[in-house]
Amino acid sequence: MQDLKEHEPDYYKSFRYILSANEPLEELELTFSAEVESLGGKVVHDLKPNGRNIKLSQSNKKEYVGLFTAWLLNHSIDQQFRLFREQFYRVVTGRIIRMFQAEELERIVCGEQLIEFRELEKAVNYEGYTTKTPVIRWFWELLHGFDPSTKKMFLVFATGTDRVPIGGLGNLKLTVERMCPDSDNLPTSHTCSNVLLLPEYSSKAKLKCKLELALKYREGFGLI
């Protein structure tokens, strides 16, 4: 359930309700089956033999939650995980894997989860700008105020990925380069070399507007 809480919070809340409910559960009209979208249609997977014809009730709710959780976290992604595992073991041997705890292995595969832009601010390089240039001060004020999802959008825009390197953003080599004097151009980037091209906007409001537009339409725009 703890893994479910992290990766499938909506299901976690629903299952917590089912487990704590005292009223009859037949009214929910749930069965021992899972319905998923596939190729434009819906496919029903039985959680146990003939599961689509077995209704959820107070007497079987623990079994239902257990089977559904196992299906979500294991069976539903079995094919994809087997392919991932096969390729992963081509890079990392089993003996090395045994040296890591689960949390450490997650950091290797997924990168750091904490997005701390103050570390990135200390490590970034500038071309045509300095830390005292007004547009650079505004730039960091805006980035520090972003919510986590927008911070990820910025990382994708500037680097091509939202993954944080192991050790934090201080290990990310990012260059902010002066693109041109004040203009109506949007910021752009060279993701292959982690270079952000930033016009020297005349106001913080204008920078905010242009940067938000660039992030909103980042797919297919300015990513080289």
| Residues catalogued as catalytic | 192
Contacts of 69 (CB under 8 A, 6+ apart): 1, 4, 11, 15
Distances from the Cα of 61 to the Cα of 2, 14, 49, 159, angstroms: 18, 12, 16, 46
The pairing of beta strand 195-198 with beta strand 188-190 = antiparallel
Vertex 204: Cα angle to 203 and 210 (nearest 5): 95
Contacts of 129 (CB under 8 A, 6+ apart): 135, 136, 176, 177, 178, 198, 200
Q: Give the C-alpha separation, 191 to 189, whole Å.
A: 6
Spatial contact of 109 and 91, defined as CB atoms under 8 Å apart: no
The pairing of beta strand 175-178 with beta strand 188-190 = unpaired
Spatial contact of 58 and 52, defined as CB atoms under 8 Å apart: no
Contacts of 146 (CB under 8 A, 6+ apart): 117, 154
- Region of residue 168 (phi > 0: left; psi between -120 and 50: alpha; otherwise: beta): left
